Amino acid sequence: MAKIVIDARESGTSTGRYVDKLIEHLHKLAPKEHELVILTKSHRLEFMRSTAPSFKTVESNFKEFTFSEQLGFSKQISSLKPDLVHFSMVQQPVLYRGRVITTMHDLITVRFRNPSKNPVVFTVKQQVYKLVNKLAARKSRRILVPTEFVKQDVADFTHVSSGKIIVTYEAGDKINDKPELVKGLESKQFIMYVGRPLPHKNLSRLIEAFQILQQSTPDLFLVLAGKKDVLYEEHERKVKEKGIKNVIFTGFISDGQLRWLYEHTACYVVASLSEGFGLPGLEAMMNGAPVASSNYSCMPEVYGDAAEYFDPTDSRGVADAILRVIGDKTRANELRELGQAQASKYSWERMAKQTLEAYVESLS
């Protein structure tokens, strides 16, 4: 019986949703020929034990990108004597020399700066991150990625053979919570985005496109949903300075409120310059929203013909694409139907099966 250790330290975060779903569906597959050990932080121990009771769950509070990760985490893993370790993110002890699989979600941090961070510190960390990506890719027996776009991107950046990179598509989820009205939006026509306001999300151009739309649809609202941080506060300040009306920054919202927004939005907009999989757009489709999307990176691959596409560097083009959706009920309804069909093509269960197959290949 092979012992497989899964690094789930990111459990409970937006990125950690991947490993949470992986463990949930691996447990349903009940791979009795393997012993699975889950490493996660203390606040997620009970969640993991309830999600996968037949797997062993071990506390591991080593913070990502620290010396303690490189030394203490490596020592903890070695003490477990695993036959294979699955790092569910690129952050890992680079000197660990056992059998390894790594999931590389994207290379966004390699290419984009975070203006909320100290520029000198971030530049240094970014260079370290680039090196970690290359080292992790080269030492891993298999690399798991969420799209063909990321597969090619990783192969080009790390110079590893694409033959050891496996695409395991992720999936969206239907929100089961009861819809909960977002106050102030009753009977309003609105477009929306949900998530963090990081630079690659391209919210500045989305706001510019909204300004253009207001010339022909002055009663339209733009809803930007997500926990407020320094970057959202900066967007909010600029909106006020420019006198742009009808922009709503919701802050944190519940799943019920998010479901209501998806079900009532005139258009969900994915303005990103780069994504690894584009999960929010797919979930918007699954929950009934028509989607207008950037035609960059993986979006056309994941969304297929179920989105109205635009060049995300052209604010006028973004506005025109949104108008083609919100100004044509027939097109909007078509996108709703196409979106739900497209979202249903993806499966967390299939992703878990493909991952299990990668474990077997790496152990052989």
CATH of the domain at 248: 3.40.50.2000
Q: Is the domain of 331 the same as that of 352?
A: no
**Residue 180 included in any domain:** no
Say whether both 69 and 215 belong to one domain: no
Within 160-314, residue ranges assigned H as helices are: 203-214, 230-242, 255-264, 279-286, 299-303
Q: In what order do the strands lie in the sheet with 267-270?
A: 247-251, 221-225, 190-194, 267-270, 291-294, 308-310
Quick check: is 177 in a domain?
no
The pLDDT > 70 percentage for the chain reads: 100
Pair (202, 163) in one structural domain: no
204 shares its domain with 94: no
Instruction: Determine, yes or no, domain membership for 276.
Output: yes
The predicted-structure confidence for 260-278, as pLDDT tens digits, reads as follows 999 999 999 999 999 999 9
Angle at 109 between CA 103 and CA 110, to 5 degrees: 95
Q: What mean pLDDT is predicted for residues 103-122?
A: 88
Any domain includes 178: no
Alpha helical stretches, state H, 2-147: 17-29, 45-51, 67-68, 74-79, 108-111, 119-139
167 and 20 share one domain: yes
On whether both 267 and 352 belong to a single domain, the answer is no
pLDDT surpasses 80 at 116: no
The answer to whether residues 149 and 165 touch, using CB atoms and an 8 Å cutoff, is no
Q: How confident is the model at residue 115 (pLDDT cuts 50, 70, 90)?
A: confident
| Rounded mean pLDDT, 102-113 | 94
Residues 338 and 352 in one domain: no
Does a structural domain hold residue 185? no
Give tens-digit pLDDT for 130-148: 999 999 999 999 999 999 9
Residue 259 pLDDT: 97
Which band of pLDDT confidence, cut at 50, 70 and 90, is reported for residue 182?
very high
Q: Read off the amino acid at residue 159.
A: H
Q: What is the pLDDT of residue 123?
A: 86
Note whether 32 and 151 are same-domain residues. yes
Helix H or strand E segment including 243: none
Nearest Cα to 16, choosing from 34, 46, 39?
39
Q: Are residues 155 and 251 in the same domain?
A: no
- What's the total number of domains in the chain? 2
Domain that holds residue 208: 190-343
